[in-house]
Amino acid sequence: MALKVSKRGAVPPFIVMDVLRAANRRQAESGNVLHLELGQPSTGAPAGVLAAARRALETDPIGYTEAFGLFALRERIAASYEAAQGIAPDPERVVITTGSSGGFVLAFLAAFDPGDRVALADPGYPGYRNILQALGIEPVTVPCGPDTRFQPTPELLEALDEPVDGLIVASPSNPAGTMLTEEALGALASYCRDRGIRLISDEIYHGITYAAPGASALRFTEDAVVINSFSKYYSMTGWRIGWMVVPPDLLRSTECLAQNFYISAPTLSQHAAVAAFDCIAELDANVARYARNRALLLAGLPKCGIDRTAPPDGAFYLYADIAHLTNDSEAFCRRMMEETGVTTAPGVDFDRGRGHTWMRLSFSGATDTIAEAVSRLQAWLPKA
**Which SS3 state, helix, strand or coil, does residue 259 take?**
helix
Write down the architecture of domain 7-43+280-383 according to CATH.
Answer: 3-Layer(aba) Sandwich (3.40)
Mean pLDDT of the chain: 95
Q: Would you state the pLDDT for residue 382? A: 80
Q: Would you state the pLDDT for residue 333? A: 95
What average pLDDT does this structure show over 214-234? Answer: 97
Residue 379 scores a pLDDT above 70: yes
Q: Would you state the pLDDT for residue 316? A: 97
pLDDT digits (tens, 9 = 90+) for 12-52: 888 888 888 988 898 888 888 999 998 899 999 999 999 99
CATH 3.40.640.10 positions along the chain are 7-43+280-383, 47-278
Q: What is the DSSP string of 86-143?
A: S----GGGEEEESHHHHHHHHHHHHH--TT-EEEEEES--HHHHHHHHHTTPEEEEEE
pLDDT-derived band at 255, boundaries 50, 70, 90: very high
Q: Would you state the pLDDT for residue 383? A: 67
Q: Would you state the pLDDT for residue 384? A: 63
Give 377's contacts (C-beta < 8 A, 6+ positions apart): 300, 301, 304, 336, 340, 342
CA distance 228 to 241: 9
88-91, long-range: CB < 8 A, 24+ apart? 89/218, 89/245
Contact 210, 313 (CB under 8 A): yes
pLDDT digits (tens, 9 = 90+) for 76-134: 999 999 999 999 999 999 999 999 999 999 999 999 999 999 999 999 999 999 999 99
139 bridge partner residues: 118
Q: Would you state the pLDDT for residue 14? A: 85
The region of weakest confidence among 8-17, 66-75, 177-186 is 8-17
Pick 11 or 277 by higher pLDDT.
277
Q: Strands, E, within 155-209: which ranges?
A: 166-170, 198-202
Topology of domain 47-278 in CATH is: Aspartate Aminotransferase; domain 2 (3.40.640)
pLDDT digits (tens, 9 = 90+) for 276-324: 999 999 999 999 999 999 999 999 999 999 999 999 999 999 999 999 9
CA distance 298 to 310: 11
**With left for phi above 0 and alpha for psi between -120 and 50, is residue 357 left, alpha or beta?**
alpha
**Which SS3 state, helix, strand or coil, does residue 309 take?**
strand
**With left for phi above 0 and alpha for psi between -120 and 50, is residue 247 left, alpha or beta?**
beta
